[in-house]
Amino acid sequence: MKSIQRSRDGERVTARTIAEPILFLLPFIVGLVTFTIYPFVNVFLISFKENYNVLNGTFAKLGLKNYQEVITDPNFLNGLGNTAKYALIVVPIATVLSIIISTLLNKSIKLKSFFQTCFFLPMVTSITAIGLVWKWLFNFDYGLINYFLKLLGGNGINWLNDPRYNLAALIIYGVWSMIPFTTILILAGFQNVNPQYYTAARADGAREGKIFFRITLPLLAPTIGLTLIINMISASKVFSELFPLFNGKPGSAYSLYTVVYYLYDAFYSKWKLGRAAACAVVLFLIVLAMTMIQLFIQRKWKNY
């Protein structure tokens, strides 16, 4: 007599009970394989194909020539340096400002909803439209930033046409565009802080500054760590901010290459698909290493 196969909760296991969850997951699995796993594996393989021709899929041989060309190309090294400077400056500044803004928005203040809307509005606005506004703000002749600099007795800065100030303009724009999303994440972290901690601390006579550094920041550590990882990954892929500011070019005199712009230039302008794929793999490895380092630091950071 055949035994009836049952699951742990006592439900009878049949072909239907197995097929139903598979069918529900099938669209997701197909999308994951088609748009994530296959492109990732394909890019990795193309990066080793020397003189790869995308039209007929032919290549000379498998080797490391594409990687050698990438890591020795001055434009890539320039892009790597600019990307590192951008990420290491923008992410900390945006995180600190977001913590301050989130702390203020988390309190009961007048016009709280209005200020929240003002800070979150850039998230639902086209990045191209925002970039064009910032291009006007940075304009040397009639930009609002130079207007205030001159009003304070300073001289106007040629933000967009002088290579010395191109990165500074990109950083200012990057900090502004990163603050809304970071603020949302940190505000969500505030909701997980038990108000009883604050009540007990105030009952013991603790000042607001001590409460912030001894209670709020330690309890926000997981959220801050998450925002740092997400923002570092996002900053490492800086690309779309360049187009509206510099008319689709990597800064004036091509001095502001980033890693992703180098990839774009190799792929769409020069049709060097093997080199572009190698650049993508190198960027992936760099971002992966940075993420692992941040996760390690985050584990050591926890003190509660």
Residue 167 identity (one-letter amino acid)? L
- In this prediction, residue 8 has a pLDDT band, given cuts at 50, 70 and 90, of low
141: in domain: yes
pLDDT at 198: 81
Instruction: Identify the burial level of 249 via C-beta atoms within 10 angstroms of its C-beta, where 0-12 means exposed, 13-18 middle and 19 or more buried.
Output: middle
d(C-alpha 8, C-alpha 140), whole Å = 71
Please write the tens of the pLDDT for every residue from 233-253. Answer: 999 999 888 888 888 888 887
1: in domain: no
For the ranges 47-51, 245-249, 298-302, the lowest mean pLDDT is seen at 298-302
CATH assignment at residue 195: 1.10.3720.10
- In this prediction, residue 301 has a pLDDT band, given cuts at 50, 70 and 90, of low
Q: Do 25 and 174 have their domain in common?
A: no
Q: Do 173 and 274 have their domain in common?
A: yes
For the ranges 95-109, 147-161, 197-211, 246-260, the lowest mean pLDDT is seen at 197-211
- In this prediction, residue 1 has a pLDDT band, given cuts at 50, 70 and 90, of very low
52: in domain: no
191: in domain: yes
Q: Do 31 and 172 have their domain in common?
A: no
For the ranges 61-70, 171-180, 288-297, the lowest mean pLDDT is seen at 288-297
What SS3 string covers the chain? CCCCCECCCCCECCHHHHHHHHHHHHHHHHHHHHHHHHHHHHHHHHCCEECCECCCCECCEECCHHHHHHHHCHHHHHHHHHHHHHHHHHHHHHHHHHHHHHHHHCCCCCCHHHHHHHHHHHHHCCHHHHHHHHHHHCCCCCCHHHHHHHHCCCCCCCCCCCHHHHHHHHHHHHHHHHHHHHHHHHHHHHCCCCHHHHHHHHHCCCCHHHHHHHHHHHHHHHHHHHHHHHHHHHHHCCCCCHHHHHCCCCCHHHCCCCHHHHHHHHHHHCCCHHHHHHHHHHHHHHHHHHHHHHHHHHHHHCCC
93 has a pLDDT exceeding 50: yes
72: in domain: yes
- In this prediction, residue 13 has a pLDDT band, given cuts at 50, 70 and 90, of low
| Percent of the chain surpassing pLDDT 90 | 32
Please write the tens of the pLDDT for every residue from 104-155. Answer: 888 777 777 777 777 777 777 777 788 889 999 999 888 889 999 888 888 8
171 has a pLDDT exceeding 90: yes
pTM of the model: 0.85
Instruction: Identify the burial level of 10 via C-beta atoms within 10 angstroms of its C-beta, where 0-12 means exposed, 13-18 middle and 19 or more buried.
Output: exposed
Q: Into how many domains does the chain fold?
A: 2
76: in domain: yes
Domain containing 20 equals 15-46
